[in-house]
Chains A and B, each alone.
Chain A
């Protein structure tokens, strides 16, 4: 199980050919209290970088991009009633969706945890 990060503050954890996607703690902290999340439904397909989900805090709505291409197998429906989970546990229970990767080679363009930490420190 390996976790990768994007410069747009999504994380993606891969187990076999299924990956779980969410937004990072850094992003959740910057957004403030999350009040609404819209996650994709199973069956939806995305290219790398496509708008995949929406996350809203009181003052800002943000699009969440697909870190890599793939087909969604499950959206985290629990977030609809409990958007605060994204603040409380962004890299755990606050996951957005699970997806089947189209091309695991795309993961190579993402950052590992150390590189992402260095990236955030530079912001």
Chain B
């Protein structure tokens, strides 16, 4: 049976779970944002670099 009534220890238990959930959610969001931000930037810069210098195999 689900027991969500921690009695006198509610503050300690819910704070522990709240802090853990918030920290892990922040870690997930910041990690995804970090990867997405650099992926976009790398793709934009690589496209520009190819336009400026197509490389020997692409030159006519």
A, B in one complex = no
